[in-house]
Amino acid sequence: MIRVVLPTHLRTLARIDGEVQLDVEGPATLRAVLDALEACYPMLRGTIRDHVTQRRRAFVRFFACAQDLSHVSPEALLPDAVAIGTEPLLIVGAMAGG
């Protein structure tokens, strides 16, 4: 079970209270987690990564275990603590503008 914390506006959009818990098949990569998240909540497609290129939107960041994972490959394995659900993956709206 992988835990994901979404920013407030995306929780509102997807009508989610609190954390999301996802079953991810196969290796726990960022791509796999986002695929699982979007499968459960289709309205989040296009809000975190581009519909077509699948690249992270510029003002979205990925944090976990006090690390910034925003620039690691989507195919890289997430930290073990995230993969086993001890720590959540934080999807964050970057601090920018109003």
Shortest spacing between CB 59 and other proteins, in angstroms: 4
Shortest spacing between CB 67 and other proteins, in angstroms: 21
Nearer to other proteins, 47 or 83 (CB): 47
Question: Residue 68, Cα to own-chain centre: how many angstroms?
Answer: 12
Q: 9-46: b or e for each residue (b if 16 or more CB lie within 10 Å)?
A: ebbeebebeeebebebeeebbbebbbbbbbeebeebee
Interface with other proteins (CB under 8 A): 7, 9-10, 13, 43, 45-48, 51-52, 57, 59-60, 93-94, 96-97
Shortest spacing between CB 23 and other proteins, in angstroms: 24
12, 15, 74, 78 from 69: Cα distances, Å: 24, 26, 9, 9
Nearer to other proteins, 43 or 81 (CB): 43
